[in-house]
Amino acid sequence: CCKGNPKADPPQAPTPGGEPCPHTPRCPNCGKNHGAHERACVFWSHRFNQLWHVEKYRQDESNHPGPSVYDIVFIQEPPWRFVRTAPSTSRKSGDDVIGAPLHPSWLPMVRNPEPDTRPRVMAYVSNRLKEFCPSMRRDLIDHRDVLILSLFANGQSYNLMNIYSDKTHTAALLLAEEAASLPPFVYMGGDFNIHSQEWDGGHHGHPGVATQLLNTAAELGLQWAPFVNPGPTFYPRIQGFRSTVIDLVFVQPDQTLTAQVTRVHNAVGESDHIPLATTLSISADSGATPRRALKANKEEQIRFVRVIEGEFAMKVDKHAPLNTPDQIDVVAQAIADSFSAAWETCSREGEFAMKVDKHAPLNTPDQI
């Protein structure tokens, strides 16, 4: 609120420089009522201790057991502020690091903004997807309002797009121009700022920019996916303004129902937008590598180790000479074969289901 809200009607100006903030400070790291750079914050007092931060994240995860249900988190208008202090050669207190929150279990992707600007879109990709080599594709579109994420498997790419389109429809118009040169996509979602009776029953009319958006999506191989729990996605904070649907998800036509696009009310936090969760399935026969894993119990892990020992005893001659490169290669290959055979014996193949959450459930005031 102190930074203003240019999207409000009328726009709200930020607090003038030099004037104190009228609100109680709230630390974005620990959540207590103090500034992020005060000694009262345990994160600030340990700002130079990376091991402490890693252990703190592990403790938080142990207090909230169970893996995250999301593999990819797309955010529009992400938080971009002071996150920590880095050691400095010129300042005893260190240099301020400005950016988005980080977590060791997630890979952040964002186009660095121009000076005095903030990014419009970013993504967090779970480390569970690292086998798919997630990449931000600035070679396809390099724009602050569009982020393209590609996952790779078996020579194929699965492309997803995160969009923030302002009230002048900058991103939507850009996509219409570039669609012919873009590859097919499996997902496109974001804050489009486009009203239409097609997705909002409380709105009358279907403007030309909405028709153009649907045509652009079709050119990318996508179709609008309705919500399984219909309702508004944007709730204006200004009294008297109607809630509406301006956040949309587009998927491949055969997944509009199975995607189960859902408004996630319990992840709103302090945002005025409701996050949207989408499930995308990429099966083995569509080109993606099937995921194999051990069951998460101690007995299966012990069995895996014992199978390795048995395979190792059969395939590796402990008296084999290691005097030449060829002899070393033979033993190394036998060791690799032992591990591979044990993995094939003990692991189980499962379906890869990717869940995408549009808008991050980060409890920050300017999340959206």
Which residues fall within 8 angstroms of residue 22, CB to CB, at 6 or more apart? 2, 15
For the cut 50, the answer to whether the pLDDT of residue 365 exceeds it is no
Contact (Cβ atoms closer than 8 angstroms) between residue 359 and residue 76: yes
Range list of H helices, the chain = 42-45, 50-63, 170-178, 208-219, 298-315, 325-346
Residue 313 confidence (pLDDT) above 50:
yes
pLDDT value at residue 314: 78
DSSP 239-279: TTPPPB--EEEEE-GGGTTTT--EE-GGG-TT-SB--EEEE
pLDDT of residue 66: 43
Q: Which of 6-20, 156-170, 175-189, 209-223 has the lowest mean pLDDT?
A: 6-20
Predicted confidence band of residue 367 (pLDDT cuts 50, 70, 90): very low
Mean pLDDT of 252-277: 87
pLDDT at 366 over 50: no
Is pLDDT of 69 > 50? yes
**Percent of the chain at pLDDT exceeding 70:** 81
pTM here?
0.62
Burial of 79 (0-12, 13-18, 19+ CB in 10 A): buried
Establish whether the linkage from the previous residue to 115 is cis, with ω within 30° of 0: no
Residue ranges of domains in the chain? 1-66, 70-84+100-288, 291-350
Q: Distance of CA 334 to CAs 46, 60, 355, Å? A: 47, 41, 39
Q: Which is higher by pLDDT, 263 or 284?
A: 263
- DSSP, collapsed to helix, strand or coil, labels residue 143 as strand
Scan for tokens 């996916």, then name that residue.
225
CATH topology assigned to domain 70-84+100-288:
Deoxyribonuclease I; Chain A (3.60.10)
Q: Which residue has the tokens 């998800």?
A: 249
Tokens (6 digits) for 97: 């690091």
Mean pLDDT of the chain: 81
How many whole angstroms separate alpha carbon 256 and alpha carbon 305?
Answer: 43
The average pLDDT across 254-270 equals 86
Backbone angles phi, psi at 78, to 5 degrees: -70, 160
Distance (Å, whole) CA 339 – CA 311: 8
Give residues with Cβ within 8 angstroms of 29, minimum separation 6.
36, 41, 43, 44
- Which range scores top for mean pLDDT: 78-82, 228-232, 300-304, 327-331? 228-232
Confidence (pLDDT) at 309: 83
- Res. 358: pLDDT tops 70: no
Strands 72-76 vs 353-358: parallel, antiparallel or unpaired: parallel
Average pLDDT over residues 313-327: 78
pLDDT band at 270 (very low <50, low <70, confident <90, very high): confident
pLDDT in tens, 273-304: 999 999 887 643 444 445 567 766 677 788 88
- Above 50 in pLDDT, residue 362? no
What is the average per-residue pLDDT within 107-135? 90
